[in-house]
Structures are given as structure tokens and as C-alpha cells.
């Protein structure tokens, strides 16, 4: 989730610095992934003028530009084609950090000519991929001024990762609300919109009984609009968070998705037929979606359709045929609450990852459905004009009023620290919870935008994260009285011992993947089909191993390929004879290869040289048995191999 | 004149013979020929009794003097020869200790860092009273997801890429994506109080410099009537101090989300880069080391524990990641490559067994 600082300040009155805001976001559970601060990134770059251009004496494609800069007259060698005398450009002095190249600019000579700095392209500024020439600035701009105003990049961009429970923080307003509850500023009231429709939508809209019962969808039509490019402020905001502006209708829906976490859809009213309906898709129905892909629908998918075709996969993606473009005159705007689980299942089945799915499967604010629609139509009317219809709603309006009887003692019981009741009340109210107290019990009403609060522990988490985890003080665990008892069992002890015995006998412990290639496994044993991965990461790792030996031999081969000669490897690990817990066995296996005694591959000075043989392996095994206190009288060595090794 | 023979010749002869001898054997021959039962000097002494008194006295003195002289000479000669023989033997037996050894097993063999770090972790947690639990790598959805409060359509299932197997007897099968199912198995099997850690292999379909399709985690679980977040914090602080072997550790608990804990926390420890070395425990950067939280009441209900009576906390940390932080490896993939050069460099000596009393790391 990306947003800019000024965008946040649309919803939050605050004097806090960027650093303070980011620290607080981290500490209330909205983890900051990245901060792009132009005032830091672009602080060294100023406006300069190219006063004269000479050809480079030694290179056809290079020019020597004499610049009028903040540092006086400077000569810079430049290869761009678009340089011309009198042009204003971005001057990067020596020692400045060039974001698009991820390097610090050093003083340099280019083909024998000293270059004191650099003129930057959009790509070098990390503004875009544009690298056809240097960035040309407004001819009226002032030499020596910083470039912030010239490039529309003065607004810091903050990127946070939102955990799946916090769907409410997928809108800038939700983030502002959290920050205000945590005393970083004050949440501004959301400007109320009051739309008075002038007429009813003519086409009928129904909801079929075959869809989930908790769906609620509202529509407004706007007639006679003039779709256009979005205003500059709106385009800037979308671009700042990495979205491409398309046209005002589409941009408004994208903007409100991020601003208020209100996913919306716009249909070109003239392209849809009569008989609009929210229903389950029929087997065999298809839709070409806005991502230019065709999807095969089935009975489990909820769609919005007209009497001919599916027009959108509800809450996930719109259809291409009825999408809006610059020629759209009449637009139908949809705002709906869908069934979270159905959205998740449909999205997964069809493998569509859209902003709408992302939000709808996590849960959006059902209490804001119609107000969100009104926000959208208001914005569209402001930009594109038009006449707004009355609202048309289908399905059951949801009034989620989850109530929790909260026991204040749960705070200290779970956290080991208690807080003042007044602080707790203030935090919860700041987050939008309402509280009423009856007979020492607090009844808490969960706001409609919070889908993650279901019981006392959830409330405690809210208090903890807003109050700050620094308040949690370490409390020692009780120690056992007397000398501690043993903590590892016999099998674990044997495992540790075997590893150290084999290592002390000159073997190298390896850890290899529990899965191997079935092609290799087949050479050693019959592969159990239950152990084949349905979605292996590669064909080299597609079955769970039934023995360690194939993995070890592959490791030996890799080492031989790297020029290693005398190799002794072992592994102590799990193998699987089936998929049940009791089918998991622990094996110790070892391989020795090459010379048991050698000196650089030859005999040693005593004249000794010997290859490893089976008796080295026997010695390894006997050493393990002896280390476990099993002496020679307690085992018998026979000619036949264990069944699992001789099964082939 | 005296009737007894002149002994000066005998003296001269014996002294010359002693002087000329080369070995202890020859010396013994001389001793026998002079001082043995039938030796020259012995015979002279036997003759004394047949002499007159005057002769006896004079002659006796001379022969006895000769006997002493020869005995002494033989002793001197003998010890000289013995010394020479020892010296000769010593010089003959000297070896060149600089010659190379061929097979030093203790140095060739190494313990893999994952085994070593697992034992370090066990050593620390066992001191805090934790038992070591284990569970199967091949799990079912019930233990890996559902019981842990991650139902099928939950977005959290998309947080991890799970490896699936065909399933058996109408029951799904998958490779556990975390060690958390051991929590469920332990709570189903044992009565509280429970204090376990569960190290083991875990699997996610992911591969890059810091992700491999198989990796290692250790799960921690405490269930008791009085378990709380303060204890969790203590436990993790004590662990990090002991593991990284530092006096103090700057730690940050960040609220987060895991479906099976509520409240949930991610734990960062402070760090800083000093040239190429990572210093853990202090500094201005943060390093995410583990996830944790209070066991979700729904998870307790799933294993038939009453959340109003019992509480618990759980945590999970990456063994491979801890190894990388402590011992400076940069590429996780090389852990599972079995490259001898890597194993020699990063492996641990066979007898370097982690122990709190002896110090965790040498």
C-alpha cells in the first residue's frame, strides 16, 4: 500500500515529521517497507542553463556543454542529442548521488576532457524509463534553484505492507485513523456528500437468489458526461503510487480505491443491454476482462450480467466490452459489498490478482457502501459534468454491528501490564469503536470497517499496538526448583551423537533437500506415488525421498565435478515410506570415496596408499554402535542387506 | 728371587686388551679370562697359599692390586661402551617429526552449521525449562492450517506457497509450511503446563538468495494459566542475548498479524554494519528475527483448552537465518549444496559441542 505524505495530510492534521510518522506506523503494526523522500533524493540537483556547446575533439557523439550553474561556469561532457544552447536542464554536481544509476558521481575525464558534473535524464532521476535525452526544464525557471518544483516531485511516498487482517488500512483514510488514535495528529472529518438524484435508472437491475445472501450492490447513472484526462493533481497522485492515469472515469475509481478503500466499477451504460442482473455464471459462459484475458466461468462464480453476456466478474474485474473510454457519455457506477469467501475462491480459481479482489476478499466497509458511491459520482460530476440518477440498490443492506463484551482484566492477563481505563477508552474511540458500560462490563461495538475484531484478545491487541509495545516489560518464566531434568529424548540424543561420531571419523555432515528427482530415485527403489509433489518447484525436486543415499551420491557428484577427490559425506535426516506421520523414519547414511590414505593422490612417505573399501563403512557403523554402548556381542553381521536397501 | 711369576706382563697384556676392545661382549670375554673362575688373575690368587709367608704377603698385595686395577678398568670401559651404545641407538632412532600426516580425521570431519545452531538453540531453551518436541514433515491441512485458525479461503493462505501431495484416505497432505503444527500435536497430546520448542524442516515453494524450498524453523510454545506477553518478551530477550552472546540487546516488538496468535508481534533486533561485519544487538538499523504472539483463543478451543483458564504464547524463528546472522553466511542456497569447500569453511569441529556451562561458542 503506497501513499504520499500530502495525501495522508488530506485526512490527518499533523505537524509530525516524515520520520516520526514512519516510526509510528512501524510501531502500530503498519510496517514501512520503503520511503521515497524527494527532498533527500533530489537535494543536490539544481537548475542550470546550457550557455554554449562545442563538439568533443575526440568523439563524434559527445559534446562539451558549458553550463551556467549554481557553482558558476562548469564544463560537462554530454552525449544527449537534445542539448541546445539556452536550454534549462538538471545539473548534478560531483559527489551527488544519482538515483537512477545507484551511484555517486565522481570527477572524471571523458576521452581526455574533464567533465564537472552531469546533465540528467528522467531515467537517471528515477522519474521514468525515459532516456532519449536529458530532461528539459521550463525556460523561465531560475538557475541555481532546486528542481523540486520543476519535476512535480516534492511529495514523499511511503510504502507500507498491510497484514491480511487489516483491510481497513488499505485506504489512506484508514491509515490516518490509526495514526490519529496513536496521537500523531487529528483525523479530519470526512466531507459529507449529499447527492440528489434527478431521475431513475431506466434499465432494470435485479439480484438472483442463487448468489450469496450477504451481497449488497448500489448503482448510480451519470448521463451526458464528458470523459477527459484527469486533472493534474489526480494524475500526480496516481503516478506517485505507481498507477498509470487512464481517463477521469477510471482514475476516479482507482483513486477512491486507495483513498477510502472503496473499490468501484464503472460501466459504459450505452454498451450494456437490458436485463441487468447479479447472478451465478452458467457453465460455459466466458468473459473477456479488462486485462485482455478471456476467463471461463462456472456455476460457483458470481457475476454481473446483462441479458446477453457477463459484464464483470463481481468484485474482481470488469469486462472489456462495457469498459469506459474517452467516448463514454453515460456511465453506470457500481459500489458493492460482496461475499469475502466467494471473492477469494473465485479469484484463486481464475488466478486473477486485482486491486478489487485484494480488497473485497479481505473485507471492505459495508457501512460506507452508498456514501462511497456518492463520493465517486460527486468526483465524476466535478471533472466530467453530467446529471446524476437516483440510487438503485439490490440485495440486503448489511449493518454489521459486531458487539463484544469486554473484560478489562484481559489486558493485564494477556499483556502482563495494565493501563488506565481512560487511556483504553480513548484508544478504542480513536479507532472508531463505541463503548457503553453496564455493570462494570464494557460492551464494545466494532466499527463496520474492522473485519478482524471478534473477541477480547483482538481488543487487547488494538490497545497494545496503539499504546505501544514498549510498555510490555519482561517477566521471567518460573524456573524449576532444583537441578534441571533432561530435556532431549533418547532418539534426539542418539541423533546428536551419531553426527559427532561420524564427523570425528573424518566425515563431513551435509544437509540436503528432502525431495529429489524421481528419475534418480527410480534407480534405487520403487517410487511411492503418494510421495510425488503436485506442485514441485522443479523436476529435480519432485518426490519426497525414501532413502538418503541418492541425495548423498548426487552431492558426491557435484563435488567431483568441482574437482574434489577424496570425499566423505554423511547426513542424518528424515526419509519417508508414506505420507502418514508414522511413515517418517530417521536415517544416518554416509558415503566415502577416493583414498583412505593418500598424500595428494599418491602414496604417503611411508609408502601407504589405500582406497576406501566396504570395511571403512563397516568401521563407521561399528563405531556408532560402540558409541551407543552396543558391544560386539550384542549384534551379528550377516551377508544380506536390509530389505529397504535390497528392494531393487 | 721370588718364585712367583712376574705379573707386569700380564698387566700390560690385559690393559692393552681392554684398551683395544670394541664391544661389551669382548669386554666380558676379557673379564672372564682375567677374573673368571679360571681366569689368569684368579689362578694367581689361588697360587698364593702355596707360597712362603714373605712371598705370600708381597705377592698377594701385588695380585690384589692388579685385580682392583683390572676390575676398575673394565667398569670404566663398560660404562663408556654403554654410553656409546645408547648415544648410537638414540641417534639411530631419531625421527623427522616434520614429515606430514596423512589422515587427521578429527580435522577433516565437520558438523553442518544447521546442526550446530540447532544444538545451540536447544541448549539455551532447555535452560529455560523447554522440552524438545518434534512432528512430521508431511502434514495435513488440519494441523498445518485449519487448527491454526487459517481456514481455506483465508487470505493468509496466500501468504505462503504450499507444496501439496496427492493426499491419502480422503485426507489432504502437504509439506508443513511452518513448525506450528507441532504446537497443535503437542497440545492434543499433553496437558498444560506445556513448555516446548520444536526445531525442524519446513517447506515453501520459493527460491532466491534468501529463500530455499526447504528451510529450518524452531517453534516455541508455552501454555500455562499465567502465561503472558511479558514472559514472551523476557523469553525472547534472554534467548537473543544468549544466542548472540551479548550483554544487552536492543529489541523492538512490532505489532503484526499471524492467524494463530492474538495479539501478534514481530521481533526486530538492533544491528549495524561495521565494514562487512554485522554487529547484532546495537545500532540504528533493525533486523527482523522472529514472529510471535499470544496463542489465539480459537486455537486453544481447537485443541479443547479453555481460553478463559489457559493462555499461552508461541514464537517461530528461522534456524538458517539465525545461523547466517551469527556466522556470516550470505547465501541460504549454499546451506543445501553439500559443497565440501563451504562445509569445511563454515562447519564446526566434531567435539565443539554447544554447552552453556562451557560457553556456547568457542
How many percent of chain B have pLDDT more than 90? 54
Kindly state whether A579 is in contact with chain B, defined as any CB-CB distance less than 8 angstroms: yes
Residue A201 CA to residue A531 CA, distance in Å, equals: 58
Pairing, β B285-295 against β B261-274: antiparallel
Residue A386 CA to residue A241 CA, distance in Å, equals: 29
- Pairwise CB contact (< 8 Å): A537 & B235: no
- pLDDT band of residue A450 (cuts 50, 70, 90) is very high
Residue A353 CA to residue B92 CA, distance in Å, equals: 85
- pLDDT band of residue B252 (cuts 50, 70, 90) is very high
Over residues A173-181, mean pLDDT: 97
Q: Which of residues 95-154 of B touch A (CB under 8 A)?
A: 99-100, 102-106, 108-112, 114-115, 119, 122, 125-132, 134-138, 153-154
Listed residue (A9, A274, A50) closest to A155, CA to CA = A9
Residue A500 CA to residue B77 CA, distance in Å, equals: 59
Quote the cell numbers at residue A253. Answer: 475509481
pLDDT digits (tens, 9 = 90+) for A206-253: 999 998 888 999 999 999 999 999 999 999 999 889 899 999 999 999
pLDDT digits (tens, 9 = 90+) for B50-69: 777 877 788 888 888 888 98
pLDDT at res. A646: 47
pLDDT at res. B117: 97
For chain B, the helix, strand and coil percentages under 3-state DSSP, each to the nearest 5: 45, 25, 30
Kindly state whether A539 is in contact with chain B, defined as any CB-CB distance less than 8 angstroms: no
CA A68 and chain centroid, separation: 45
Q: Where are the alpha helices (DSSP H) in A351-433?
A: 355-362, 369-384, 409-415, 421-430
The CATH code for residues A403-471 is 3.30.56.10
Determine how many CB atoms are found less than 10 A away from the CB of residue B153.
17
- Pairwise CB contact (< 8 Å): A472 & B253: yes
For A505, the closest of B109, B168, B237 (CB atoms) is: B109
Pairing, β A157-161 against β A2-4: antiparallel
Kindly state whether B234 is in contact with chain A, defined as any CB-CB distance less than 8 angstroms: yes
**Environment class of residue A207 by beta-carbon count within 10 Å: exposed (0-12), middle (13-18) or buried (19+)?**
buried
pLDDT at res. B156: 67
Listed residue (A155, A151, A109) closest to A130, CA to CA = A151
Residue B355 CA to residue B362 CA, distance in Å, equals: 10
Q: What are phi and psi of A511, to 5 degrees?
A: -125, 120
Q: Which of A320-329, A466-475, B26-35, B103-112 has the lowest mean pLDDT?
A: B103-112
Would you say A618 and A626 are in contact if contact means Cβ atoms under 8 Å apart?
Answer: no
Listed residue (A270, A267, A269, A231) closest to A251, CA to CA = A231
How high is the mean pLDDT of chain A?
A: 91
What is the topology classification, in CATH, of domain A490-646?
Answer: BirA Bifunctional Protein; domain 2 (3.30.930)
3-state SS of A147-197?
Answer: CHHHHCCCCCEEEEECCCCCHHHHCHHHHHHHHHHCCCCEECCCCCCCCCC
Residue A298 CA to residue A346 CA, distance in Å, equals: 9
pLDDT at res. A184: 95
pLDDT digits (tens, 9 = 90+) for B206-251: 877 778 999 999 999 999 999 999 999 999 999 999 999 998 889 9
Residues of chain A found within 8 Å of residue B250, distances taken between Cβ atoms: none
Residues of chain A found within 8 Å of residue B99, distances taken between Cβ atoms: 605
Determine how many CB atoms are found less than 10 A away from the CB of residue A601.
10
Residue A503 CA to residue B106 CA, distance in Å, equals: 7
Nearest CA in chain A to B172: A579
Would you say A373 and A265 are in contact if contact means Cβ atoms under 8 Å apart?
Answer: no
Residue B182 CA to residue A12 CA, distance in Å, equals: 45
Beta bridge partners of A611: A595
Q: Assign domain A205-395 to a CATH class.
A: alpha beta
Determine how many CB atoms are found less than 10 A away from the CB of residue B252.
17
pLDDT at A598 over 80: no
Distances from the Cα of A6 to the Cα of A156, A158, A240, A379, A472, angstroms: 8, 11, 11, 19, 33
pLDDT at res. B95: 81
Label residue B245 left, alpha or beta by phi (over 0 means left) and psi (-120 to 50 means alpha).
left
Would you say A156 and A241 are in contact if contact means Cβ atoms under 8 Å apart?
Answer: no
pLDDT digits (tens, 9 = 90+) for A462-475: 999 999 999 999 99
- Pairwise CB contact (< 8 Å): B159 & A164: yes
3-state SS of A225-262?
Answer: CCCCCCCHHHHHHHHHCCCCCCCHHHHHHHHHHHHCCC
Angle at A613 between CA A607 and CA A615, to 5 degrees: 105
Over residues A62-83, mean pLDDT: 88
Cis peptide upstream of residue A207 (ω within 30 degrees of 0): no
DSSP structure class, residue B155: G
Residue B327 CA to residue B347 CA, distance in Å, equals: 10
Kindly state whether A578 is in contact with chain B, defined as any CB-CB distance less than 8 angstroms: yes
Angle at A588 between CA A584 and CA A591, to 5 degrees: 135
Residues of chain B found within 8 Å of residue A344, distances taken between Cβ atoms: 153-155
Nearest CA in chain A to B261: A457
Residue A141 CA to residue A280 CA, distance in Å, equals: 59
Kindly state whether A165 is in contact with chain B, defined as any CB-CB distance less than 8 angstroms: yes
Residues of chain B found within 8 Å of residue A612, distances taken between Cβ atoms: none
Q: Which of A62-76, B32-46, B323-337 has the lowest mean pLDDT?
A: B32-46
- Pairwise CB contact (< 8 Å): B264 & A460: no
For chain A, the helix, strand and coil percentages under 3-state DSSP, each to the nearest 5: 30, 25, 45
Would you say B165 and A579 are in contact if contact means Cβ atoms under 8 Å apart?
Answer: yes
Pick the CATH number of A40-151 from 3.40.50.300, 2.40.50.140, 1.20.950.20, 3.30.1240.10: 2.40.50.140
pLDDT at res. A633: 85
pLDDT at B291 over 90: yes
pLDDT at res. B111: 97
- pLDDT band of residue B104 (cuts 50, 70, 90) is low
CA A322 and chain centroid, separation: 30
**What are the sequence ranges of the domains in chain A?**
2-25+160-187, 40-151, 205-395, 403-471, 490-646
pLDDT at res. A647: 42
Kindly state whether A326 is in contact with chain B, defined as any CB-CB distance less than 8 angstroms: no
- Give yes or no on whether A2-25+160-187 and A403-471 have one common fold: yes
3-state SS of A76-140?
Answer: EEECCCCCCCCCEEEEECCCCEECCCCEECCCEEECCEEECCEECCCCCCCCCCCCCCCCEECCC
- Pairwise CB contact (< 8 Å): B207 & A534: no
How many angstroms away from the CA of A533 is the closest CA of chain B?
Answer: 5
pLDDT digits (tens, 9 = 90+) for A99-142: 888 888 888 888 888 888 899 988 888 877 778 888 888 888 88
Residue with the larger pLDDT of the pair B147 and B35: B147
pLDDT at B192 over 50: yes
Q: Assign domain A2-25+160-187 to a CATH class.
A: alpha beta
Quote the cell numbers at residue A528. Answer: 511411492
pLDDT at A152 over 80: no
What DSSP assignment string belongs to B302-347? HTT--TTT-EEEEEEEEHHHHHHHHH----GGGGGS--HHHHHHH-
Quote the cell numbers at residue B114. Answer: 544447521
pLDDT at A511 over 50: yes
- pLDDT band of residue A38 (cuts 50, 70, 90) is confident
pLDDT at A643 over 50: yes
Q: Where are the alpha helices (DSSP H) in chain B?
A: 8-20, 24-35, 40-47, 53-93, 105-108, 113-127, 141-144, 181-189, 229-244, 297-302, 319-327, 340-346
Listed residue (A49, A106, A89, A109) closest to A73, CA to CA = A49
Calculate the dihedral angle through the C-alpha atoms of A250, A251, A252, A256, rounding to the nearest 10 degrees. 110
Residue A471 CA to residue B175 CA, distance in Å, equals: 38
pLDDT at res. A129: 76
Residue A464 CA to residue A461 CA, distance in Å, equals: 5
DSSP structure class, residue A146: B
How many percent of chain A have pLDDT more than 90? 68
Kindly state whether A465 is in contact with chain B, defined as any CB-CB distance less than 8 angstroms: yes
Q: Which of A226-235, A480-489, B108-117 has the lowest mean pLDDT?
A: A480-489
Amino acid at each position: 500500500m503506497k501513499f504520499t505524505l500530502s495525501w495522508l495530510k488530506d485526512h490527518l492534521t499533523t505537524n509530525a515529521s516524515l520520520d516520526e510518522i514512519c516510526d509510528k506506523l512501524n510501531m502500530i503494526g503498519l510496517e514501512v517497507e520503503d520511503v521515497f523522500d524527494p527532498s533527500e533524493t533530489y537535494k543536490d540537483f539544481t537548475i542550470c542553463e546550457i550557455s554554449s556547446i562545442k563538439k568533443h575533439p575526440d568523439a563524434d557523439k559527445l559534446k562539451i556543454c558549458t553550463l551556467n550553474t549554481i557553482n558558476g561556469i562548469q564544463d560537462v561532457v554530454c552525449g544527449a542529442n537534445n542539448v541546445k544552447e539556452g536550454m534549462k536542464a538538471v545539473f548534478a554536481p560531483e559527489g551527488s548521488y544519482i538515483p537512477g544509476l545507484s551511484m555517486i558521481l565522481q570527477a572524471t575525464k571523458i576521452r581526455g576532457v574533464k567533465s564537472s558534473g552531469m546533465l540528467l535524464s528522467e531515467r537517471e532521476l528515477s522519474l521514468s524509463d525515459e532516456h532519449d535525452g536529458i530532461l528539459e526544464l521550463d525556460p523561465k525557471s531560475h538557475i541555481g534553484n532546486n528542481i523540486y518544483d520543476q519535476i512535480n516531485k516534492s511529495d514523499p511516498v511511503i510504502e507500507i505492507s498491510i497484514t491480511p487482517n487489516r483491510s481497513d488500512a488499505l485506504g489512506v483514510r484508514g491509515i490516518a485513523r490509526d495514526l490519529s488514535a496513536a496521537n500523531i495528529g487529528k483525523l479530519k472529518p470526512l466531507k459529507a456528500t449529499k447527492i440528489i438524484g434527478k431521475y431513475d435508472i431506466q434499465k432494470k437491475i435485479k439480484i438472483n437468489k442463487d448468489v450469496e445472501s450477504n451481497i449488497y450492490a448500489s448503482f448510480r447513472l451519470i448521463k451526458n458526461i464528458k470523459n477527459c484526462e484527469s486533472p493534474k493533481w489526480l494524475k500526480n497522485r496516481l503516478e506517485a503510487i505507481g498507477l498509470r492515469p487512464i481517463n477521469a472515469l477510471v482514475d476516479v475509481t482507482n483513486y477512491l480505491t486507495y483513498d477510502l478503500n472503496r473499490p468501484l466499477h464503472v460501466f459504459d451504460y450505452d454498451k450494456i443491454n437490458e436485463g441487468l442482473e447479479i447472478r451465478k455464471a452458467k457453465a460455459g459462459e466466458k468473459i473477456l476482462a479488462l486485462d485482455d484475458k478471456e476467463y471461463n466461468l462456472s456455476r460457483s462464480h458470481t457475476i454481473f450480467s446483462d441479458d446477453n453476456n457477463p459484464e464483470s466478474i463481481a468484485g474482481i474485474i470488469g469486462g472489456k466490452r462495457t469498459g469506459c473510454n474517452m467516448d463514454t457519455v453515460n456511465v453506470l457506477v457500481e459500489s458493492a459489498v460482496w461475499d469475502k469467501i466467494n471473492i477469494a475462491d473465485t479469484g484463486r480459481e481464475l488466478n486473477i490478482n486485482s486491486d478489487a479482489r485484494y480488497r473485497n476478499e479481505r473485507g471492505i466497509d459495508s457501512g460506507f457502501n452508498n456514501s462511497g458511491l456518492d463520493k465517486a459520482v460527486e468526483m465524476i460530476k466535478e471533472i466530467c459534468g453530467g446529471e446524476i440518477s437516483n440510487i438503485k440498490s439490490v440485495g440486503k443492506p448489511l449493518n454489521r454491528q459486531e458487539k463484544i463484551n469486554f473484560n478489562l482484566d484481559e489486558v493485564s492477563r494477556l499483556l502482563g501490564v495494565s493501563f488506565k481505563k481512560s487511556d483504553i477508552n480513548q484508544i478504542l474511540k480513536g479507532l472508531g469503536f463505541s463503548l457503553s458500560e453496564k455493570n462494570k462490563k464494557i460492551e464494545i461495538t466494532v466499527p463496520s470497517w474492522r473485519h478482524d475484531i471478534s473477541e477480547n484478545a483482538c481488543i487487547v491487541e488494538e490497545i497494545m499496538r496503539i499504546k505501544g509495545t514498549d510498555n510490555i516489560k519482561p517477566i521471567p518464566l518460573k524456573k524449576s526448583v532444583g537441578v534441571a531434568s533432561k530435556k532431549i529424548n533418547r532418539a534426539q540424543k542418539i541423533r546428536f551423537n551419531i553426527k559427532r561420531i561420524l564427523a570425528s571419523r573424518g566425515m563431513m555432515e551435509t544437509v540436503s533437500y528432502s525431495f529429489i528427482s524421481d528419475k534418480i530415485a527410480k534407480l534405487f527403489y520403487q517410487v511411492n506415488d503418494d510421495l510425488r509433489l503436485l506442485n514441485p518447484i522443479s523436476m529435480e525436486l519432485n518426490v519426497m525421498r525414501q532413502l538418503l543415499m541418492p541425495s548423498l551420491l548426487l552431492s558426491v557428484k557435484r563435488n567431483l565435478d568441482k574437482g574434489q577427490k577424496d570425499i566423505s559425506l554423511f547426513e542424518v535426516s528424515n526419509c519417508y515410506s508414506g505420507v502418514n506421520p508414522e511413515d517418517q523414519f530417521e536415517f544416518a547414511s554416509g558415503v566415502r570415496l577416493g583414498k583412505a590414505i593418500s598424500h595428494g593422490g599418491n602414496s604417503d612417505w611411508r609408502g601407504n596408499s589405500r582406497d576406501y573399501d566396504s570395511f571403512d563403512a563397516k568401521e563407521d557403523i561399528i563405531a556408532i554402535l560402540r558409541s551407543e554402548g552396543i558391544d560386539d556381542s550384542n549384534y551379528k553381521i550377516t551377508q544380506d542387506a536390509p530389505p529397504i536397501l535390497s528392494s531393487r | 728371587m721370588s718364585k712367583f711369576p712376574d705379573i707386569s706382563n700380564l698387566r700390560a697384556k690385559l690393559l692393552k686388551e681392554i684398551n683395544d676392545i670394541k664391544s661389551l661382549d669382548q669386554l666380558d670375554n676379557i673379564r672372564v679370562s682375567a677374573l673368571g673362575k679360571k681366569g689368569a688373575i684368579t689362578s694367581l690368587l689361588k697360587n698364593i697359599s702355596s707360597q712362603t709367608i714373605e712371598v705370600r704377603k708381597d705377592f698377594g698385595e701385588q695380585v690384589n692390586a692388579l685385580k682392583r686395577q683390572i676390575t676398575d678398568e673394565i667398569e670404566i670401559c663398560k660404562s663408556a661402551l654403554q654410553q656409546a651404545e645408547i648415544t648410537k641407538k638414540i641417534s639411530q632412532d631419531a625421527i623427522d617429526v616434520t614429515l606430514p600426516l596423512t589422515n587427521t580425521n578429527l580435522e577433516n570431519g565437520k558438523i553442518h552449521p544447521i546442526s550446530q545452531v540447532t544444538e545451540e538453540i536447544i541448549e539455551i531453551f532447555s535452560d529455560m525449562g523447554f522440552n524438545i518436541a518434534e512432528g512430521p514433515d508431511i502434514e495435513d491441512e488440519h494441523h498445518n492450517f485449519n487448527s491454526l485458525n487459517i481456514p481455506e479461503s483465508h487470505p493468509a493462505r496466500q501468504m505462503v506457497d504450499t507444496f501439496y501431495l496427492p493426499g491419502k484416505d480422503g485426507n489432504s497432505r502437504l509439506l508443513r509450511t511452518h513448525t506450528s503444527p507441532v504446537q497443535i500435536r503437542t497440545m492434543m497430546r499433553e496437558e498444560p503446563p506445556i513448555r516446548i520448542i520444536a526445531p525442524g524442516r519446513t517447506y515453501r515453494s520459493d527460491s532466491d538468495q534468501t529463500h530455499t524450498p526447504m528451510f529450518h524453523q524452531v517453534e516455541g510454545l508455552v501454555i500455562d494459566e499465567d502465561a503472558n506477553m511479558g514472559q514472551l518478551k523476557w523469553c525472547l530477550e534472554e534467548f537473543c542475548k544468549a544466542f548472540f552472546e551479548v550483554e544487552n540487546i536492543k529489541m523492538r516488538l512490532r505489532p503484526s498479524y499471524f492467524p494463530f496468535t492474538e495479539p501478534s508481534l514481530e521481533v526486530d533486533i538492533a544491528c549495524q554494519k561495521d565494514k562487512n561485519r554485522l554487529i547484532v544487538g546495537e545500532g540504528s538499523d533493525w533486523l527482523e528475527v522472529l514472529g510471535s504472539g499470544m496463542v489465539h483463543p480459537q486455537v486453544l478451543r481447537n485443541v479443547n483448552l479453555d481460553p478463559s483458564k489457559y493462555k499461552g504464547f508461541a514464537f517461530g524463528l528461522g534456524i538458517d537465518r539465525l545461523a547466517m546472522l551469527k556466522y556470516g553466511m550470505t547465501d541460504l542456497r549454499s546451506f543445501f549444496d553439500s559443497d565440501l569447500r563451504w562445509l569445511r569453511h563454515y562447519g564446526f569441529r566434531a567435539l565443539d559441542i554447544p554447552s552453556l556451562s562451557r560457553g556456547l561458542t568457542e
